[in-house]
């Protein structure tokens, strides 16, 4: 029996901010911290709360948390982010998932009953979700490439040969008049 997806099953995702940012940078270049916040929505379920914990004190505006009851950003101030994360997990271990590459932190949160994943798993999921994200609105099939040949698209396709191409006089723009006022359609 397949295991449930830990990102979708979690009620709280706690992210070791600097740790995951490092993994994002290793995977695809230098990204701002704001990129982490904006991508987290794509990997969790609709009811999952997200808390990102950064080491140190908040720097003047580099990270702007989105105003949402589901996303929080916390700075550890004068203690380590690991200690803050462990305290959060100790308060709500059931359904909590922690994303970090810190092996010691992973062991500490699992001791309380929370689950942990490697930062790399979160970053890989960002890439998968971004590539598979649905478009807004009605999904439309890719239009056939004219003259593509016998591959199923183009003028050599028998289904395509039966279909008339659009032209201005085909009825799309032809004025027909108002039949209720005695102006018959032409």
Task: Scan for tokens 């449930």, then name that residue.
Answer: 4
Whole-prediction pTM: 0.64
Confirm if 21 and 60 have CB atoms less than 8 A apart. no
If one compares 169 and 134, the residue with the highest pLDDT of the two is: 169
> pLDDT at residue 20 above 60?
yes
- Is the pLDDT at 34 greater than 60? The verdict is yes
In this prediction, residue 168 has a pLDDT band, given cuts at 50, 70 and 90, of: low
For the chain, what are the domain ranges? 16-76+102-123
**Among residues 150, 171, 170, which one has the least CA distance to residue 161?**
150
CB 76 within 8 A of CB 96: no
Between CA 125 and CA 43 the distance in angstroms is 7
Q: Give the pLDDT of residue 1.
A: 62
Mean pLDDT throughout 61-73?
A: 70
User: For the segment 85-109, what is each residue's pLDDT rounded down to a tens digit?
Assistant: 999 999 988 899 999 999 999 999 9
- Please give the full DSSP string across 67-105, using - where no structure is assigned: S-SSEEEEE-TTS-HHHHHHHHHHH--TTEEEE-S-HHH
Q: Give the number of other CB atoms < 10 A from CB of residue 46.
A: 7
């Amino acid at each position: 029996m397949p295991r449930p997806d830990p990102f979708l099953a979690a009620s709280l995702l706690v992210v070791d901010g600097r740790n995951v940012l490092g993994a994002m940078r290793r995977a695809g270049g230098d990204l701002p911290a704001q990129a982490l916040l904006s991508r987290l929505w794509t990997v969790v379920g609709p009811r999952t709360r997200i808390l990102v914990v950064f080491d140190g004190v908040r720097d003047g505006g580099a990270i702007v948390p989105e105003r949402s009851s589901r996303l929080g950003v916390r700075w550890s101030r004068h203690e380590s982010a690991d200690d803050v994360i462990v305290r959060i997990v100790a308060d709500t271990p059931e359904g909590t998932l922690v994303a970090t590459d810190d092996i010691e932190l992973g062991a500490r949160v699992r001791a309380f009953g929370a689950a942990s994943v490697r930062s790399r798993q979160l970053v890989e999921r960002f890439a998968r979700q971004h590539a598979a994200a649905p478009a807004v609105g009605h999904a439309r099939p890719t239009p056939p490439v004219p003259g593509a040949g016998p591959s199923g698209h183009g003028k050599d396709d028998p289904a395509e040969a039966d279909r008339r191409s659009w032209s201005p006089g085909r009825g799309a723009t032809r004025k027909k008049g108002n039949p209720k006022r005695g102006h018959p359609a032409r």
